[in-house]
């Protein structure tokens, strides 16, 4: 039986910025269909961790996306990263963004899916417009649609709920749940407890982890999630307590 | 201030876009990037054309070009070669050494990507599974055009210098300069890429280019086939080495890009794009760029330089010294914490000014211009940043003292040390020491005044050059009016006037 290539595997990752250790000995794996919710106070290093994973920061340690280092073409075709700020072309309309996004990942059917997501986010009337004149929330919806319309094994989303209205937050949770159901893996950061609770209700086996002092600690906060986590036997670590460093495959 | 309008969505483009569905089975990385550039570059160009049409007008541009052209031609017509050309016996050696050092330093020291990428491109192109050569195609092309254009300026100046002072006109410079500009950019890229373990070709080509530059710099000294011979030799053989270097570097860059982008490229490009937008935004709002923000970003690019965590300290002054003391302390701390390597250009400029003043060429228009250029290149480094709050109740003279005094003390130390050394070794005259130091002092003070009164950015190159020109102006006017001996006195008087207590600074 062939061993499954993990969508995300991090071994002993360290990030030092300006001689300050931001992340220390982070190990983490995401399996197919996993969602990990990453928490931490401002400056804890959540965005730094995500940037290091996708090759936007130098790091020590090993990162593999579907078995490849993140800067290789093979790895880039397996994941997408959505930063906390929507970075869009000022001179491409929304529909052209959808076309370009599907082209850049060579996925012919992605354009229709992106347009479908834009419809769910109620942006269809604005398809022919440039995003420059749009609000931060509308830009965020476009940015998320461009990523989630693609069919990829791994999605890395930095604060995706920021600037979204209540209805769009619910829509996003539903889309993420559907992605997980289809076998994709998601690493997401979010501050809003209410939103993430709704997300955890939709995805009972979701995992949570806190970044504290550069270390990653996995916690169990929801009853369902806790049961799901504890029901799974741990192969690598004998310690089954809820608080432990994330070098285990849960 | 006229705003550049956002481009309007074009119904024609939109309709065309919807009709022509791409054939994904034949889609390549280059076609994806071409699709993007055709829309973004095309629309930006049309938007700028419309903006010029609506605001400046093409006739205005035409007249400006005509006036500048006429001005340039009349300037060239008044240039006359010296009746007795200067004899520079070791000119070929100096040119070879300067040229070789120029390229070798680039090949051996570039650690940061010389090719910028917009932040949108970093995330939407750089992180997509597209070939590095396609992602960098457009920005690399723009960087080449810029490098070639910049290289042509010193080439023209060199030709004018040769025509006036040496009595020759080396037309080959006009070919060598664009080649050098192009090669300069690609050498920087190869040097940067060669530091990545996943770029073996870049490492090999970088070494090959280093060897090429070394060998053909040496051969040029005793044969017509050399890298720099076109600067003094009209033989067709002189063109062989520069053209070969261009072909080699171009091939090397193409080959390196086929290996993919270096693993550090995207994060460097992200930081560089943030730096660029900080400068751009400050230019748009006519404000001084946020130096703290820029330092924070630079610390990400060069984390070893201890830019963001201080390791040396100066005790703060007692509270009774007031705002003046605080400003002086802050400025002194900035100079104290600056790495010594960053002080070296100031030291080198002091040396150059002293040597220049000790030479008869100092009183010619060429010598005076050279003095202004040297001062203009360095003067910004001697002015400390302004206090963050513009509302401080402080006299203008106190602000000037707070921002420039520590820099002037540093300058004084350098001038005195070098002056003493040159007096002992080459017999430097005391007057040459004063002539070299005073315009620099004037320029520092004048730059601070321009910054605090006129709200200009003292770290912008053109502002610094402007201050340098103003600083040497009294000496030039006095010299050409036949009162050369009064030049220094006028400069000293102007410098002293800058320190007069002129009231509370308006925010």
pLDDT tens-digit series, residues A88-108: 998 899 999 999 999 999 998
Q: Strand A215-219's sheet: what is its strand order?
A: A79-82, A154-157, A185-189, A35-39, A207-212, A215-219, A244-245
Candidates A58, A96, A104; nearest CB to B32:
A104
Domain ranges of chain A: 1-78+154-160+179-230, 85-151
**CA neighbor of B350 nearest in space, from B403, B408, B419, B406:** B419
Res B247 pLDDT > 90? yes
Quick one: pLDDT at residue B380?
92
**CA neighbor of B452 nearest in space, from B293, B327, B333, B275:** B327
Average pLDDT for residues A223-248, to the nearest whole number?
41
Quick one: pLDDT at residue B504?
54
Q: How confident is the model at residue A2 (pLDDT cuts 50, 70, 90)?
A: low
Average pLDDT for residues A212-231, to the nearest whole number?
61
Q: What is the DSSP string of B205-245?
A: HHHHHHHHHHHHHHHTTTSS--SSGGGT---GGGGHHHHHH
Q: What is the pTM of this model?
A: 0.73
Q: What is the DSSP string of B39-99?
A: HHHHHHHHHHHHHIIIII-HHHHHHHHHHHHHHHHHHHHT----SS----TTHHHHHHHHH
Res B475 pLDDT > 90? no
User: B284 or A21, which is more confident?
Assistant: A21
Res A195 pLDDT > 90? no
Q: How confident is the model at residue B143 (pLDDT cuts 50, 70, 90)?
A: very high
Quick one: pLDDT at residue B13?
41
Give me B108's structure tokens: 């051996």
Q: What is the DSSP string of B30-41?
A: HHHHHHHHHHHH
Res B106 pLDDT > 70? yes
User: A246 or B479, which is more confident?
Assistant: B479
Instruction: Give how far A229 is from chain B: nearest CA, Å.
Output: 33
A212-221, B155-164, B348-357, B430-439: range with lowest mean pLDDT: A212-221
Quick one: pLDDT at residue A246?
36
3-state class (DSSP) for residue A9? strand
Partner residues linked to A217 by β-bridges: A210, A245
Quick one: pLDDT at residue B286?
59
Res B417 pLDDT > 70? yes
Hey, is the C-beta of B15 within 8 angstroms of any chain A C-beta? no
B81-90, B127-136, B313-322: range with lowest mean pLDDT: B81-90
Angle between helices B11-19 and A94-104 (to 10 degrees): 40
Candidates A105, A108, A132; nearest CB to B6:
A132
H/E segment holding residue A155: strand A154-157
Q: Does the beta-carbon distance from A91 to B125 stay under 8 Å?
A: no
H/E segment holding residue A153: none
Quick one: pLDDT at residue B505?
53
Quick one: pLDDT at residue A203?
84
Res B299 pLDDT > 90? no
Quick one: pLDDT at residue B99?
86
Hey, is the C-beta of B301 within 8 angstroms of any chain A C-beta? no
In this structure, what DSSP letter does residue A242 have? S
Q: Does the beta-carbon distance from B267 to A103 stay under 8 Å?
A: no
Helix count (H) and strand count (E) of chain A? 8, 10
Distance (Å, whole) CA B183 – CA A48 = 36
Average pLDDT for residues B227-231, to the nearest whole number?
87
Which of A104, A131, A133, A155 to mutate to test binding with chain B, by most B CBs within 10 Å of its CB?
A: A104
A67-71, B11-15, B177-181: range with lowest mean pLDDT: B11-15
User: A125 or B11, which is more confident?
Assistant: A125
Partner residues linked to A65 by β-bridges: A8, A68
A92-96, B96-100, B497-501: range with lowest mean pLDDT: B497-501
Res B10 pLDDT > 60? no
Q: Which residues of chain B lie closer than 8 angstroms to A77, CB-CB? A: 129
Quick one: pLDDT at residue B283?
66
Partner residues linked to A245 by β-bridges: A217
Distance (Å, whole) CA A77 – CA A154 = 10
Contacts of A67 (CB under 8 A, 6+ apart): A5, A6, A9
Res B258 pLDDT > 80? yes
Partner residues linked to A17 by β-bridges: A20
Q: Torsion angle of alpha carbons A137, A138, A140, A142, nearest 10°? A: 170
Candidates A16, A56, A108; nearest CB to B267:
A56
Res A145 pLDDT > 80? yes
Average pLDDT for residues B283-302, to the nearest whole number?
69
Q: Does the beta-carbon distance from A57 to B303 stay under 8 Å?
A: no
Q: How confident is the model at residue B308 (pLDDT cuts 50, 70, 90)?
A: low
Of A14-28, B117-131, B477-491, the range with the highest mean pLDDT is: B117-131
User: B420 or B367, which is more confident?
Assistant: B420
Residues B176-219 have pLDDT tens digits of: 999 999 999 999 999 999 988 888 889 999 999 999 999 999 99
Q: Does the beta-carbon distance from B40 to A91 stay under 8 Å?
A: yes
Distance (Å, whole) CA B507 – CA B392 = 8
Q: Does the beta-carbon distance from A17 to B303 stay under 8 Å?
A: yes
Residue pair B88/B166 in contact by the 8 Å Cβ criterion: yes
Q: How confident is the model at residue B291 (pLDDT cuts 50, 70, 90)?
A: low
pLDDT mean across residues, chain B = 84
**CA neighbor of B381 nearest in space, from B351, B406, B418, B399:** B406
Q: How confident is the model at residue B126 (pLDDT cuts 50, 70, 90)?
A: very high
Quick one: pLDDT at residue B289?
66
Share of chain B above pLDDT 70, in %: 91
Q: Does the beta-carbon distance from A73 to B260 stay under 8 Å?
A: yes
Res B323 pLDDT > 70? yes
Q: What is the DSSP string of B459-484?
A: TSHHHHHHHHHHHHHHHHHHHHTT-G
Average pLDDT for residues B449-477, to the nearest whole number?
85
Quick one: pLDDT at residue A105?
95
Quick one: pLDDT at residue B503?
57
Instruction: Give how far A228 is from chain B: nearest CA, Å.
Output: 34
User: A220 or B104, which is more confident?
Assistant: B104
Quick one: pLDDT at residue A217?
83
Res A154 pLDDT > 90? yes
CATH number of A1-78+154-160+179-230, picked from 3.30.565.10, 3.40.50.11740, 3.30.950.10, 3.40.50.300: 3.40.50.300
Q: Does the beta-carbon distance from B263 to A55 stay under 8 Å?
A: yes
Candidates B14, B125, B309; nearest CB to A128:
B14
Q: Does the beta-carbon distance from A103 to B123 stay under 8 Å?
A: no
Phi/psi for B266 (5° steps) reads -65, -45
Quick one: pLDDT at residue A218?
76
Quick one: pLDDT at residue A42?
85
The predicted complex's ipTM stands at 0.84
């Amino acid at each position: 039986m062939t061993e499954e290539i993990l969508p995300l595997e991090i071994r002993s990752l360290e990030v030092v910025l300006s001689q300050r250790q931001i992340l220390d000995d982070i190990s983490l794996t995401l399996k197919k269909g996993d969602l990990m919710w990453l928490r931490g106070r401002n400056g804890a290093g959540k965005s730094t961790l995500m940037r290091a994973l996708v090759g936007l920061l130098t790091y020590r340690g090993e990162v593999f996306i579907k078995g490849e280092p993140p800067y290789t073409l093979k790895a880039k075709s397996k994941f997408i990263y959505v930063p906390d700020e929507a970075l869009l072309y000022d001179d491409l309309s929304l529909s052209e963004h959808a076309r370009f996004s599907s082209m850049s990942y060579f996925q012919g059917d992605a354009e229709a899916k992106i347009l479908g997501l834009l419809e769910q986010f109620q942006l269809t009337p604005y398809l022919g417009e440039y995003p420059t004149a749009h609000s931060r929330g509308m830009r965020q919806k476009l940015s998320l649609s461009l990523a989630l319309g693609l069919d990829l094994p791994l999605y890395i989303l930095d604060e995706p709920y920021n600037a979204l209205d209540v209805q769009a937050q619910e829509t996003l949770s539903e889309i993420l749940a559907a992605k997980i159901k289809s076998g994709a893996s998601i690493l997401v950061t979010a501050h809003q407890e209410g939103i993430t609770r709704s997300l955890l209700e939709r995805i009972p086996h979701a995992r949570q982890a806190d970044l504290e002092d550069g270390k990653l600690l996995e916690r169990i906060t929801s009853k369902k999630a806790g049961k799901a986590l504890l029901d799974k036997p741990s192969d690598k670590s004998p310690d089954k307590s809820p608080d432990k460093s994330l070098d285990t495959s849960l | 201030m006229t705003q550049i309008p956002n481009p309007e969505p074009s119904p024609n483009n939109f309709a065309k876009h919807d009709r022509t569905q791409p054939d994904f089975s034949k889609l390549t990385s280059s076609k994806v990037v071409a699709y993007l550039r055709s829309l973004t570059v095309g629309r930006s160009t049309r938007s700028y054309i419309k903006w010029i049409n609506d605001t400046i007008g093409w006739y205005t541009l035409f007249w400006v070009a005509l006036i500048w052209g006429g001005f340039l031609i009349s300037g060239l017509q008044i240039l006359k070669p010296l009746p007795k050309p200067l004899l520079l016996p070791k000119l070929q050696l100096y040119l070879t050494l300067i040229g070789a050092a120029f390229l070798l330093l680039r090949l051996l020291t570039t650690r940061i990507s010389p090719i910028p990428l917009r932040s949108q491109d970093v995330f939407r192109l750089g992180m997509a599974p597209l070939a590095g050569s396609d992602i960098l195609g457009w920005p690399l092309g723009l960087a080449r055009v810029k490098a070639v254009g910049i290289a042509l300026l010193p080439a023209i100046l060199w030709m004018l210098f040769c025509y006036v002072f040496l009595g020759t006109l080396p037309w080959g410079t006009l070919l060598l300069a664009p080649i050098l500009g192009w090669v300069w950019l690609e050498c920087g890229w190869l040097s940067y890429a060669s530091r990545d373990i996943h770029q073996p070709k870049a490492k090999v080509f970088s070494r090959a280019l280093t060897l090429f530059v070394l060998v053909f710099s040496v051969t040029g000294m005793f044969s017509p086939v050399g890298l720099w011979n076109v600067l003094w030799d009209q033989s067709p053989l002189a063109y062989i080495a520069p053209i070969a270097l261009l072909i080699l570097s171009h091939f090397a860059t193409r080959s390196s890009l086929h290996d993919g982008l270096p693993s550090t490229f995207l994060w460097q490009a992200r930081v560089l794009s943030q730096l660029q937008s900080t400068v751009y935004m400050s230019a748009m709002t006519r404000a001084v760029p946020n130096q703290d923000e820029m330092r924070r970003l630079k610390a990400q690019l060069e984390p070893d330089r201890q830019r963001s965590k201080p390791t040396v300290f100066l005790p703060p002054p007692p509270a009774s010294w007031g705002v003046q003391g605080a400003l002086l302390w802050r400025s002194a701390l900035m100079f104290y914490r600056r790495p010594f390597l960053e002080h070296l250009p100031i030291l080198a400029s002091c040396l150059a000014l002293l040597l220049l003043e000790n030479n008869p060429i100092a009183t010619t228009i060429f010598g005076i211009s050279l003095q202004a250029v040297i001062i203009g290149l360095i003067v910004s480094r001697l002015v400390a940043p302004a206090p963050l709050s513009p509302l401080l109740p402080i006299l203008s003279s106190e602000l000037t003292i707070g921002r420039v005094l520590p820099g002037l003390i540093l300058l004084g130390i350098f001038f005195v040390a070098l002056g003493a050394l040159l007096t002992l070794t080459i017999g430097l005259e005391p007057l040459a020491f004063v002539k070299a130091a005073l315009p620099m002092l004037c320029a520092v003070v004048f730059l601070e005044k321009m910054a605090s009164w006129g709200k200009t950015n003292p770290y912008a190159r053109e502002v610094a050059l402007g201050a340098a020109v103003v600083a040497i102006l009294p000496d030039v006017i006095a010299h050409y009016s036949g009162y050369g001996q009064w030049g220094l006195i006028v400069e000293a008087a102007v410098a002293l006037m800058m320190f007069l207590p002129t009231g509370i600074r308006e925010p």
